[in-house]
């Protein structure tokens, strides 16, 4: 899945596996929720979750990570 114009993914990695690693590290180390991460980084939560769903990962609120 390529980012579409307007997805607002900022400077996040385009490769889904690199994106997964980066986001999970940020969630673990710096943010209490995906919402907080997206707000702080001005990232589209919908685009981010769709990108990671394409590689079979979904956000788990309980663990605050994509699993």
pTM of the model: 0.86
Report the SS3 class of residue 46. helix
pLDDT value of position 41? 92
Please, what is the average pLDDT of the chain? 90
**What sign for the dihedral angle of Cα 25, 26, 27, 32?**
positive
Segment among 5-9, 23-27, 39-43, 46-50 with least mean pLDDT: 5-9
Going by pLDDT thresholds of 50, 70 and 90, the confidence category of residue 9 is: confident
- CA dist list (Å): 51 to 5, 24, 26: 14, 14, 17
- pLDDT tens digits along 36-55: 999 999 999 999 999 999 99
């Amino acid at each position: 899945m390529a980012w579409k114009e307007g997805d607002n993914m900022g400077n996040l990695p385009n490769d889904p596996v690199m994106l997964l690693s980066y986001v999970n590290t940020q969630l673990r180390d710096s943010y209490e929720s995906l919402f907080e991460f997206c707000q702080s980084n001005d990232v589209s939560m919908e685009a981010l979750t769709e990108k990671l769903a394409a590689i079979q990962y979904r956000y788990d609120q309980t663990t605050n990570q994509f699993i």
